[in-house]
Amino acid sequence: MFTAVAAQAEMVKFTTEMTGAAVVPPTDSSATGTAEVTLDTEAKTVTWTFTAKDLSGDMTAAHIHGPAGPTESAPPVIDTSAETMTGTAPITDAQVTELMAGMYYLNVHTEKYPDGEIRGQLAAMK
């Protein structure tokens, strides 16, 4: 006989404050931003909302990048859409592990800063 154990769904919130100093390499931008990302461990999705102010121009792209620590760069893993600044996307088991380990960051791109004007490392709220 075997017993199935239901996995407990968990909603985990991550936040960050984005600055030019956090970009690798740093920018001289005075722009700032904030982001909140919610991981749904049962549905295997992430939902985000972010803001950016005082950018050098229009936002051309915004992504969640990883895996990388605060002093490293990595390719985008989730396109967060510069048009809406909110959204939801699926996430793999490996990405869940990397996100929980603090290895993802949000990067906002502009024409002046195509590699990213502001960045913030996502950290789980305690």
Tens digit of each residue's pLDDT (9 = 90 or more) over 62-80: 999 999 999 999 999 998 8
* pLDDT(6) > 70: no
Average confidence (pLDDT) over 52-59: 96
Cis peptide bond prior to 26, omega within 30° of 0: no
Question: Across all residues in the chain, what is the average pLDDT?
Answer: 92
Rounded CA-CA distance 47/84 in Å is 12
pLDDT attached to residue 7: 54
Q: Which residues contact 112 (CB under 8 A, 6 or more apart)?
A: 56, 57
Q: In the prediction, which pLDDT does 80 show?
A: 86
pLDDT at 114 over 90: yes
Q: Which two tokens stand for residue 114?
A: 């195509």
Domain ranges across the chain: 11-124
